[in-house]
Structure 1
């Protein structure tokens, strides 16, 4: 018997399936196609978080191109908004900041004031360790390594209403640090070939089932309560359907990449109305120590994928955009000065992107001072002028209607910055 504490309260469930590139399971497509005739759960607000692991160079993604100090510090990496050079020009946002040319899908969203950018964002902890910085961002407690829960798990706990197994879902192969905690969460490598294993419960750590139906057989209706039983019934119904034909809205074609496939599956879960409220996925490969490139190369490919995948997801969400907000995050930025191998090293502040209809968009928020050495952190890095918690709390509070930042970010007492409307 799986205990109520083990099933409902401990850690999260990890749904492990075939690789992300394996396509979308048929039962989801059929469920989406019939969504108008059958809604399993009422529509809810959804926050989608994307972690850019490896530390994105915010100064290349959104460049203060009028800053002569940056031009001097990056003789081969600096990019301009001026046309007619040897590389594609930056997309001029406001006469000072320019968007990387490979992020053109973001330009229209910015112009429509659906996309906001926060620059100079980062952690108050000055570690330049990927592992530690990611841990601090995901726990939400940048000076406490002993925090057992993640900030997104705490956000789920503050939603204040009955949950379904799909309330918090990560499209990753294992549960991210952000979702650790007492509130249930799922890690799904692919929504196909369901298999479940328990995480975080000593008494049930070895309990496994081949499908939701197998786990359902091990439980009781009193354990699952009404919401849980309805969720299992929904899953059992979906598993009996055939699938191969999910058609995104507006004939959208998602990039056939890990991020594209993850966001495509998140879109389907949203359309299915199965109670999804917090979604998480990842974009990897941002550690650009060498051969970073300018309009071509590693960085250009990464930002092209990020912006194209998010834009495809947003277009697919056309009828749901009022209910969805997307936010990116990264552990830290890169050095202002390029290194000797055509790259940049671990730095401090970066930038992030927030997309939604309730976003104060069409603006670059934050404070980026001229990149003279006296303004740099430790004489080398873009200074952190906006604590990541100020932005994360504002997005979660305003979009998900949360009301207790002392629980969400227990050590933070700062102010929000106005990146959300209302």
Structure 2
């Protein structure tokens, strides 16, 4: 029987690659709902009709008419006038993705970007469906709200690093883990000093050397904020303390992460950089899909290099550890401030170094607030902290 899939963020990098995997395995999956922001109505319409999706969710209500027109135009080309094409039902608004999640599904793949993925993540866990999670931000800011809502085995990571760790831990005991080693490509500016990052442009930051990702994640990889978020994510997913989670720079992105055990053994998951592999695992978990991605070429000479992280030039991981160890709403503050700063950088209102500097300043303000240490982690407190951090970041950006 085919697995029913609800796909959130369908027009983004994760979403389009997920549909590639699904198209290659029509006997394994059917798409029952798509959700997207609405910025690419033609692509969303094509996806909906290609996969005969009954429900399409659009976050921006102003984009609904464009999506409808795109659907009509594409349907006409496919023979709609002869009754051969079925148009999907459209829902719109900030809660549209949550409605898509509540369509009966076996797997929800959350490929949204940013904190907006939190409510759909919680809604997906409530349905009992397997949650293939690429939207790391929802886990990081939700923390125990998300892990506490997940049944055993319900939450499957799609980030390549955490998918690698999950694979390495299959059949292993957590108490036998000495440490997790999360790999980082180092981004486009690996090896540069802080002084050499002063004049970085958005175009340079968006040119990742090994991965093809969306613009926000690519810039987060350039600042290493993304790796900081992944350290918090690893802690929450696998229950390993921050003192036992290390980051190592691995430029070729062949080794996606490693697990070192107490007996000195290290388990490595290796494959060429291709998100279709962890996406396929997330959709089919615990099964594997034959031919999901190409494997390593073991007939050619190859070298794997690893380097320590330069905390002086790239302090984002250190800041993330601080937020994660403080817990409560600090990770939400870290993430929200960064989202504002990335937008400001892309718009030309903030320099590259100002992204992490501003995130650090907002986090300092939060951690020195006496109320932060006593505030319980609730959905309301997360949303309040998120809103406060965004406002504070905007003020600091204007001051710079």
TM-score range, shorter chain: 0.3 to 0.5
Normalising by structure 2, report the TM-score.
0.33
Normalized per residue, the structure richer in helix is 2
